[in-house]
Amino acid sequence: MDSNTEQKPPRVCRRVRSKGTPGVRYDAAVEWETGFVSTATFWCVSTGECVGPDDDLVHPHSCGEGRVCFRPPTDESAEEARILE
């Protein structure tokens, strides 16, 4: 497949965190592909709950650019990013 036509996964809000997802630390940002793990639980660091500031459920497949509370991922690695905002 031509790399110019490959679609990238949607960006996930940097506030989404996961518990129980293999390979994802509790303080690490979550990738879109993480949503395929059926046993994972997700929360927003802004609310500390399974709902975001807009009262919708937190999940990598729903916490995208279409939500008013969306914050784009940073370019920093999880080791460099110390602020959970």
Evaluate whether residue 2 is within a structural domain: no
| CA distances in angstroms from 44 to 3, 26, 38, listed in the order given | 33, 11, 18
Q: Which residue has the tokens 């999880």?
A: 78
Instruction: Look at the chain and report how many structural domains it folds into.
Output: 1
- Residue 10's pLDDT band (boundaries 50, 70, 90)? confident
- Per-residue pLDDT of 24-77, as tens digits, reads 666 677 888 877 777 788 999 999 999 999 999 999 999 999 999 999 988 765
Residue 51 lies in domain: 8-72
Evaluate whether residue 84 is within a structural domain: no
Per-residue pLDDT at 76? 60
- Per-residue pLDDT of 30-45, as tens digits, reads 888 877 777 788 999 9
Evaluate whether residue 81 is within a structural domain: no
Per-residue pLDDT at 27? 66
Does this model's pTM top 0.75? My answer is no
